[in-house]
Amino acid sequence: MATVHYELEKVRNGHFIFRLKGIHDEIILSSATFCSKASAENAIHFARYNAPDENNYELKSSMDQHAYFILRGGNYQILGQSGPYNSETAARRGIKAAMECAATKEIMDLTH
């Protein structure tokens, strides 16, 4: 059975991203790209700290009318974004999942 965890991954141009994955291995939250692994790890730390507070989330709607959410840090910097949801209700459930799961200490380092 899968566990809640962050995945840290090296992507194009040597940049790094993280994803918060849920109990069923679904992606709850994805980060932007970071120039260094240390910056991505630092962002995970900030996500852990800021995710439990519902006030740090913002519901949005994409151009094609799909709901999604963003997680902001204390300085209003975007820490992560969800994928698209079919409804605002589903996006709100995603926020609750992020709030519950983001505190995990588990990190899968996929950078090697």
Q: What mean pLDDT is reported for the chain? A: 94
107 pLDDT more than 80: yes
28 found inside a domain: yes
2 pLDDT more than 80: no
Q: In the numeric block, which tokens belong to residue 35?
A: 């120039």
42 pLDDT more than 90: yes
Element of type H or E holding 91: helix 88-101
* Range(s) of the domain holding residue 23: 5-107
Q: What is the pLDDT of residues 70-98, one digit of tens each?
A: 999 988 899 999 999 999 999 999 999 99
pLDDT of residue 31: 95
CA dist., res. 39 & res. 45, Å (int) = 10
Element of type H or E holding 48: helix 37-50
**CATH number assigned to the domain comprising residue 97:** 2.30.29.80
- State percent of the chain over pLDDT 90: 86
pLDDT of residue 74: 81
79 found inside a domain: yes
Q: Please tell me the pTM assigned to this model.
A: 0.90
Q: In the numeric block, which tokens belong to residue 109?
A: 């380092």
CA dist., res. 5 & res. 110, Å (int) = 12
19 found inside a domain: yes
1 pLDDT more than 80: no
The domain tally of the chain equals 1
112 found inside a domain: no
SS3 62: coil
pLDDT of residue 76: 86
